[in-house]
Structure 1
């Protein structure tokens, strides 16, 4: 199979038929063999009913219905697990991504041998102050932190080789950082393509300013995981050594000063240096404990399902 189109969605019943017809037209005109995987992430409207209808009419349509709203990352993970195409295309279900971009994205993977190609919505139709400016700041911080030189980490329109999606673990809210996850997994041939952005046709945006706050917090998380995820003791142990050394230095100073210079002076416990030494040595010990616990958890953790599937459509049983 040439292409798997993976579409996570939440309450997009108004756009699904139009999106399906548009994708199918592009695929058929380019003679691609394909599948369209809709992942219903706990919609409360008639999205799943629409997907069932499409699946009955078109055997290329497949559906996954999560038991509840688990989040976009979990929806993508479920779609990636089922995708069979040589190239996997992800796009949003709100018609803001243009299916006409699919052939060129496919060619970049198959002919130019990229591992991953991310869309760049260079010209956007979002509100400049509520989305564009925070997005630019967010993308700048992501580039500096991760070393992945992309202009638009948030673009949902991306293309992957099948090998990439089968070897990365998308969890939590890390869908924004799939290129970083791919780089950390060893897939370094990452490209970018300018794509057309379209204004939303139906409904209202489901993302507010909190998306960018969460994005920056996730950026800190993925930076930590990238640098110290497999060796937490290297970070916490180093901090523990520094803090303990500071406390030990103050303790040594107080002991020498008391023993040789201020034998009849005030008590050590009345001096502020005593509390600095005590606090830093305790904090240093806690950092050590955190490092040890991190190492223990890392070595004893077991894989656990992060989402539950309620229904599936048109998938062959293995």
Structure 2
């Protein structure tokens, strides 16, 4: 039996859906966006702002009550990198993730260029998958950029040495660097919920600010609900409840339990939100 090599009925000769909109094309388009460059500049500048703040205000005072990661920020470059993660994990890192995931589809719809992409023709599922993958890659790059710049700048300003733990003791530099890499990975997994919210909203609205702002707003709502102790154990179902579980990685003995639970909750929420985005975009009217 001879297998036909002709293209499907209604498609042009040589057309292959899998060859449309390569990831490198979408990545280059997003890389050239002004918001990408501004986001990278802000994240790279944050460690230097903190170094300047410590230089003006003096080293953090220790010995007054409970010692935190901020109190040991100037002990070494590794300590400074962890301090930067501590102050930025709750909000600063949320914004670039929401921006990259929330702006990607809504901006195309707002510019009326989405209909031309689909008329190329690019299958809807492939278009959305390309944008999602690139948004996640850019989000991961943003989350790596901050601690990487902080580590380099902190090592120059405060020297390279062991990670001094707020609870007492220290971690060798090599072990501490691996732990920080684990922390960054956990933070990225935790931010998948924000990415899912932003990406889903990006397929629902044609207003990029609405998608980005909505994702940031809902993330803040999650943080507020986690602070309501009356909810009891129900708070463990909130991704926000586990956002600082990575601090358990900065112990002499690595504790994975809370991080595993937090990662499971975040991935579960993210998968549902990504599925909603694909389901909605499949039937979305991009012409009107």
Q: Which has the larger radius of gyration?
A: 1
TM-score range, shorter chain: under 0.3
Question: What TM-score comes out, normalization by structure 1 length?
Answer: 0.21
